[in-house]
Amino acid sequence: MFDLDGTNISCLPESIGSLQNLLILNLKRCKYLHFLPLATTQLYNLRRLGLADTPINQVPKGIGRLKFLNDLEGFPIGGGSDNTKMQDGWNLEELAHLSQLRCLDMIKLERATPCSSTDPFLLTEKKHLKVLNLHCTEQTDEAYSEEGISNVEKIFEKLAPPHNLEDLAIGNFFGCRFPTWLGTNHLPSVKYVLLIDCKSCVHLPPIGQLPNLKYLRINGASAITKIGPEFVGCWEGNLRSTEAVAFPKLEWLVIEDMPNWEEWSFVEEEEVQEEEAAAAAKEGGEDGIAASKQKGEEAPSPTPRSSWLLPCLTKLDLVGCPKLRALPPQLGQQATNLKELNIRRARCLKTVEDLPFLSGCLLVERCEGLERISNLPQVRELRVNVCPNLRHVEELGGLEQLWLSKNMQKISSLWVPRLQEQHRQLHGDEHELEVTEWL
């Protein structure tokens, strides 16, 4: 093992090629290292090459000779040249012979050349590949050309992973649409998906049908204004099937830094209306049925459909979503295992209510427009910070601990006494609701 992580080296000697039995070469975070020696391609037994966060821009042609590589991190892509031994990044084609790869992290993908479907570098045959990170260079002030956008979309389309992939990250992708293989039967084994700073895509991919997805993080998708049924991977009629389950194994969902996101729904508007009519019929009895018939409709079935959405979700983080107006009602109806909900910097959100299954902690922070928290009968802990308009907090029968920041002292006096009284009625005088100053 040769570990130079974070050192100030600026070059490696050609004599490194004599280390024929070297298994690991770690050059991560070497901020002064801009090229690799030609002899790097002579390290025939190398298993791991780490180049992440190192500004490598000159590499030797022939990385494909290192046939035993299984971990390749920070792999810079470039145009390359058939006429030189050194090149500005590796060609994608040079991955073709690296059949043992288990972890592949590629950067500068916008510099690749789209290829025909017969090209050998496609990743689908890499049977050992478990982790795949695909990164473009972070966008500057200058907008990408239409040709550049089309180019990067074609490149990503050609990088369909093998079926055994478990961990996928896409960063700084500036195409207008995600590759079609994301969210289809190409990814039956994927457990972790990160979509980071994909700022030009106006729709999220249909990843709700990934059968083994456990963790999903969406960060910085600034072109998104609405998340709708396309996100859960629904085609027409899908949601009516009792066999269709969206996000069947998802445990943790993080949506962060979404400055233009306003609307969130899981079903089409017509289906929302039908669900509301069904609820009215169930709760209102004959009145609800009569109301439906007045519209010239058949009375909907009062029996709700079996769980089809987020049955395993235990944690939801919504951070930096300043225009989001409301949580989808299906979240409260379907996410029956939800334990923790964190909402930060969502200033247009007015209510957090009707989450009967939320059983652990609710945190709301810097939600300046929040007016009401209600009908959370199982929540045990509530943390509130910088919510100056929160005037109504009620129907929290299971609450055991309340954390309030100093700035909440005045406004919380409107509802804390009622919470304390409710707690005494439910649990007796000897069990006071614990109120703690936070921060």
Q: What 3-state class would DSSP assign to 382?
A: strand
- CB within 8 Å of 346: residues ≥ 6 apart: 318, 321, 322, 324, 366, 367, 370
State how far the alpha carbon of 413 is from the alpha carbons of 184, 373, 381, 393, in Å.
51, 15, 18, 11
pLDDT reported for residue 173: 95
**Radius of gyration in angstroms for the set of CA atoms belonging to the chain, rounded to a whole number:** 27
* Model-wide pTM > 0.85: yes
Query: Quick one: pLDDT at residue 243?
Result: 60
pLDDT at 295: 38
Return the structure tokens found at 435: 């109120």
Mean pLDDT of the chain: 87
**pLDDT of 142:** 77
Report the alpha-carbon angle 282-286-288, nearest 5. 55
The per-residue pLDDT for 306 is: 57
Q: What is the pLDDT of residue 271?
A: 54
List, in sequence order, the alpha helices (H) in 305-393. Answer: 329-334
pLDDT lower than 50: segments of the chain:
116-117, 235-242, 282, 286-304
Name the residue among 370, 375, 416 with its Cα closest to residue 397. Answer: 375
Following DSSP, what letter does each residue of 102-170 receive, concatenated?
SEEEEE-GGGS----TT-TT-GGG-TT--EEEEEPPPP-SSPPPHHHHHHHHHHHHT-PPPTT--EEEE
